């Protein structure tokens, strides 16, 4: 596998992660940031970089289901843990409720913040299926969007919550099956 640094010296460590359900591993220097590991080593480029100061959330991933800034984690630090990125949101070609929400409510413009926003939204709905506007705004306050003014992002997350609530009321067997594998 192509690694961030080809000069694998004595410092290199073996990092193995479960990424979107699949085991992935590589030998990298300890200084390699998780975001670079994901983007460069795993070639999953949906996770973005927008700043150097842990301020923007463009790099958000879920670590064991919890949203974190992958630019402020070392790859070695999370070795052994389970990571979800935007590429893991959809079940095959079918969009997840969060993706559908963003599409329907025009929750994205340039799309650069979108992966992070959707992951935060996804994690939020896991423990708060019916959040208020205030709760949504608070939850996404570690993620900057320069384009949308957030109004439609809030609506998108509410839209996703509504889809999920519907699905709970009338569970579709196919949807459950599709969610399982990839």
Partner 1 sequence: MFPAAFDYRAPSSLAEAVDILRQRGEEAKVMAGGQSLIPLLKLRFSQPALVVDIGRLPNLAGVERKDGHLRVGALTRHVQVESNTDLRTLCPILPEAAHWIADPLIRNQGTVGGSVCHADPQGDWGSVMLALDADFVARSESGERTIKAADFFQGPFTTALRPDEVLTEIRIPLAAHSAGAYNKLERKVGDFATVAVAVQVEMNGDKIAKAGIGLTSVGDRNLKARDAEKSLAGKQPTDEAIAEAARLAAAAAEPKADVRGSAEFKRDIVRVFVQRGLKTAVARARGGQ
Partner 2 sequence: MAATHVHGGIGESIKRKEDSRFLHGKGNYIDDLALPGMLHMSILRSPHAHARLKSVDTSAASGMPGVIAVVTGELMAQHKLAWMPTLSNDTQAVLATDKVRFQGQEVAAVIAETRYQAEDARDAIVVDYEVLTAVTSPEGAKTAGAPLIRDDKENQKDNHIYHWESGDQGTTRAAFAKADKVVRLHTFYPRCHPAPLETCGCVADVNGVTGKATIYMTSQAPHAIRTVFALVTGLPEQNIRVISPDIGGGFGNKVPVYPGYVVATAASLLIGRPVKWIEDRTENLISTGYARDFHMTGDLALDKDGKITALRVHLDSDNGAFFADAQPSKFKAGLFHIVTGSYDIPTAHITADGYYTNKAPGGVAYRCSFRVTEASYLIERLITNAAIEIGMDQAEFRKKNFIRKDQFPYHSATGWVYDSGDYHKAMDVALDQLGYDELRKDVEKRRKQGEVTGIGIASFTEVVGAGHGADFDILGLRMFDSAELRVHPTGKAMLRMGTKSQGQGHETTFAQIVAEELGIPAADVAVEEGDTDTAPYGLGTYASRSTPVAGAATAMVSRKLREKGRKIAAHLLEAAEEDLEWERGRFFVKGSPDKGKTIQEIAFAAYTNLPEGMEAGLEGVHYYDPPNMTYPFGTYAVVVDVDKGTGQVKVKRVVAVDDCGVRINPMIVEGQIHGGLTEGFGIAFMELITFDAEGNCIGSNFMDYLLPTAWESPKFELGETVTPSPHHPLGAKGVGESPTVGSPAAYVNAVIDALSPYGVKNIDMPVTPDKVWAALRAAGVSE
Ligand X SMILES: Cc1cc2nc3c(=O)[nH]c(=O)nc-3n(C[C@H](O)[C@H](O)[C@H](O)COP(=O)(O)OP(=O)(O)OC[C@H]3O[C@@H](n4cnc5c(N)ncnc54)[C@H](O)[C@@H]3O)c2cc1C
Report helix, strand or coil for 78. Answer: helix
Residues 50-89: x where in contact with partner 1 by CB under 8 A, - otherwise, as a string: --xxxx-x--x--x--xxxx-xxxx-xx------------
- Under the criterion CB under 8 A, does residue 17 sit at the interface with partner 1? no
Applying CB under 6 A, the span of 97-105, 122-130, 141-149, 171-179 interacting with ligand FES comes to 141-149
The widest CA-to-CA distance across the chain, in whole angstroms, is 56
**Burial classification of residue 100, based on how many CB atoms lie within 10 Å of its CB (0-12 exposed, 13-18 middle, 19 or more buried):** middle
- Under the criterion CB under 8 A, does residue 72 sit at the interface with partner 2? no
174 binds, among partner 1, ligand X, ligand FES, none (CB under 5 to 8 A by kind): none
Instruction: At 173, give phi and psi (nearest 5°).
Output: -60, -40
- Under the criterion CB under 8 A, does residue 109 sit at the interface with partner 2? yes
- Under the criterion CB under 6 A, does residue 54 sit at the interface with ligand X? yes
């Amino acid at each position: 596998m192509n690694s961030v640094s080809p000069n694998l010296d004595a410092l290199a460590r073996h990092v193995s992660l479960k990424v979107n359900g699949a085991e992935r591993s590589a030998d990298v220097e300890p200084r390699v940031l998780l975001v670079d590991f994901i983007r460069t080593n795993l070639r999953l480029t949906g996770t973005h970089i927008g700043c150097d100061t842990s301020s923007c959330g463009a790099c958000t991933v879920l670590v064991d289901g919890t949203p974190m800034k992958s630019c402020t984690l070392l790859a070695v630090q999370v070795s052994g843990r389970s990571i979800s990125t935007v590429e893991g949101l959809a079940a095959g070609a079918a969009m997840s409720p969060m993706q559908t929400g963003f599409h329907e409510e025009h929750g994205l413009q340039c799309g650069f913040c979108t992966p992070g926003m959707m992951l935060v939204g996804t994690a939020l709905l896991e423990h708060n299926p019916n959040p208020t506007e205030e709760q949504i705004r608070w939850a996404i306050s570690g993620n900057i969007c320069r384009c949308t003014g957030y109004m439609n992002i809030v609506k998108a997350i509410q839209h996703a919550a509504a889809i999920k609530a519907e699905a709970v009321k009338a569970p579709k067997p196919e949807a459950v099956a599709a969610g399982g594998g990839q």
